[in-house]
């Protein structure tokens, strides 16, 4: 588990209790984002419940920081993940 993963507080715009990503779900979240970037036409799969009801917002401030807001209409996932670009994110090919 990369120590630089820092889950942050998301916003609740749906009325559903926001659900945060547990640290052990971060690799799945990265895989989801990577797949989404490589196949933008495909609906992203929620890293928690596997529903194709995930919304991803790329709020990255390139080339310095990656920010991705993830929200799932099925399980209530609502979280933002961030990490520094250009260094230690080895799961990015």
Verify binding: residue 72, Zn ion, rule CB under 5 A: yes
- Residues 27-56 binding Zn ion (CB under 5 A) are 46, 48-49
The span from the CA of 27 to the CA of 45, in Å, is 13
Q: What is the torsion angle, in degrees rounded to the nearest 10, for the CA atoms of residue 36, residue 8, residue 86 and residue 55?
A: 10
70 binds Zn ion (CB under 5 A): no
* CA 45 to chain centroid: 11
By beta-carbon proximity to Zn ion, the closer residue of 20 and 67 is: 20
Using CB under 5 A as the criterion, which residues of the chain lie in contact with Zn ion when the complex forms?
Answer: 46, 48-49, 72, 74-75, 77
């Amino acid at each position: 588990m990369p120590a630089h993963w820092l889950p942050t507080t998301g916003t609740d715009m749906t009325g559903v209790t926001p659900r945060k990503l547990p640290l052990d779900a971060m690799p799945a979240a990265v895989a989801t984002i990577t797949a989404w970037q490589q196949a933008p036409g495909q609906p992203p799969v929620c890293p928690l419940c596997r529903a194709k009801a995930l919304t991803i917002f790329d709020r990255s401030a390139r080339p310095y920081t990656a920010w991705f807001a993830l929200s799932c209409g099925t399980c209530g996932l609502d979280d933002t993940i961030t990490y520094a670009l250009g260094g230690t994110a080895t799961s990015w090919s």
